[in-house]
A = this chain, B = another copy of it.
Amino acid sequence: VNFIGQGEKMTYCVGMKLEGGLILASDTRSNAGVDHISTYCKMHTFHRDGERKIFLLSAGNLATTQETISLLRQSVDRENSGHLLSLASLFECASVVGTHLRSVLEKYNHSKAGVDFSATFILAGQIKGEEPRLFLIYPEGNFIEATPETPFFQIGEAKYGKPIIDRVLEYNTPLKQALKCALISFDSTLRSNISVGMPLDVTCLEKDLCLSHDQIIRIHENDPYMKLLRFQWGEGLRSLFETIPDWDVDFQFNPRES
């Protein structure tokens, strides 16, 4: 199915939960139909200065993610019980996001239009008194939390950028190195899939320190560091490829031994 329609994957987001804190990154391309491709922020924030910093990264159907985020903001604005700025733990926040997401999807899933209305979220951040935490929230409303053995989640067009993370990321990777890893992962994705697009939004949430500052940086196409990274990684890969010896094998005289 090559048709890019409502609900098609046009996103890549990654969240990493490390010893020193969190790294989050998302692209900004989205669409609501083939003729409606635009830049949308997929990194949504819920802050209370000095007390909590919560990020929601979204992938999937744009209408679904927008409606879910709007419901979550409305709860905050109306000071409903149990909203993202009042709950005591990030675990409870994940549960609330899942509940809203499921309720939105239940409205539309009876449609026979063949549209995929589903959406997925990464929820990450820190509430004072807790460690930084990272959750992946499924369209069904349930969710999983990152652990030292599984220190990262990806949503959207995740496969192109997974091998490099699998190879270099560990729980004790320093934040700056993890950020570099995330950007290389984006570079691989951007090169292999035109539907994921610059600019990128990235943030680095250092444990405890993150509670008091706004930290999202938008990386544009011509960003000097991104250009350096893309060049050095691309050239480095080609050099590495050259250094690996070719296979000295003769296909004329090696019948299959199965």
Contact = CB atoms under 8 A, between A and B. Distances in A.
B167 A251 contact: no
Contacts of A247: 176, 179-180, 183, 225, 229
Contact of A232 (B214, B238, B244, B252): B244
A163 interface: yes
B244 A229 contact: yes
A206 B189 CA distance: 32
A163 B160 contact: yes
Given A160-B163, A168-B237, A258-B218, A244 B180 contact: yes
Contact of A246 (B161, B176, B240, B249): B176
Contact of A256 (B161, B184, B201, B256): B201
A243 interface: yes
Interface of A: 41, 157, 159-164, 166-168, 176-177, 179-181, 183-184, 188-189, 191-192, 201, 203-204, 206, 209, 213-218, 225, 228-229, 232-234, 236-238, 240-241, 243-249, 251-258
